[in-house]
Amino acid sequence: MRIDIITVLPELLDSPFAHSIMKRAQEKGLLEVRCHQLRDFAINKHGQIDDYQYGGGAGMVIMCEPLANQIEKLQGERTYDEVIFLTPDGETYNQGIANAFSLNKNLMLICGHYKGIDQRIRDKYVTKEISIGDYVLSGGELAAAVLVDSIGRLLPGVLNDETSALTDSFQDNLLAPPVYTRPADFNGMEVPEILLSGNFPKIEEWRNEQALQRTKERRPDLLE
């Protein structure tokens, strides 16, 4: 999969994809992430890409021209399955959306800043608007990093059996059960005996019960 990210702060995205699973996904050729500096399409030599909003009010708005030129340049190079704008007024992101996005070949992510981007860009080019939660970030970059990470780890071959995405929280609408490692007794706090039993069908049953109980307590909405 290829993911192109349009941003005024590509530096913010240097680190999130340079380590661990995202790094390996790219080294294996399963994921390609490219960040594009929107200022390369500035309307003047001062690097301007934003302007005051019509109607007055505080906050700058990213202009149509730089975004349209950047988007159309990328669209001239390949066909995008989705053009995604990260914005707090988008659809709330979840595992189901990540699963669906992971089936695509080419995604374009647009990071907003300031008061956002001109509505006409949203109307003409954007196919999905995504929020990563009900709070406001300074820009879309951290949200873009969340999407790339959650999508990238779902691509076939990125995770091995031990880290398989199938056992993640949310994958079956259940939270993950508790996990333990050595020592079996930590200052008098003991690991549940069943996990030491070697009875794998029973362990599986226990984990399912724990997952269900945890979900009932913490996220009953997932069971509805």
Query: What residues make contact with ligand ADE under the rule CB under 6 A?
Result: 86-88, 112, 131-133, 135-137, 140, 143
Taking phi over 0 as left and psi of -120 to 50 as alpha, with beta for the rest, 128 belongs to beta
Which CB, 112 or 177, lies closer to ligand ADE? 112
**Sign of torsion, CA 39 41 42 46?**
positive
Q: Provide the minimum distance between the beta carbon of 90 and ligand ADE in the complex, in angstroms, as a whole number.
A: 6
For 77-218, strand residue ranges (E) read 82-92, 106-111, 128-131, 185-186, 189-190
Q: Do residues 3 and 32 make contact, with C-beta atoms less than 8 angstroms apart?
A: yes
Q: Provide the minimum distance between the beta carbon of 138 and ligand ADE in the complex, in angstroms, as a whole number.
A: 7
Which CB, 118 or 174, lies closer to ligand ADE? 118
Q: Provide the minimum distance between the beta carbon of 62 and ligand ADE in the complex, in angstroms, as a whole number.
A: 12
Q: Provide the minimum distance between the beta carbon of 5 and ligand ADE in the complex, in angstroms, as a whole number.
A: 12
Which CB, 25 or 132, lies closer to ligand ADE? 132
Which CB, 133 or 192, lies closer to ligand ADE? 133
Q: Do residues 151 and 123 make contact, with C-beta atoms less than 8 angstroms apart?
A: no
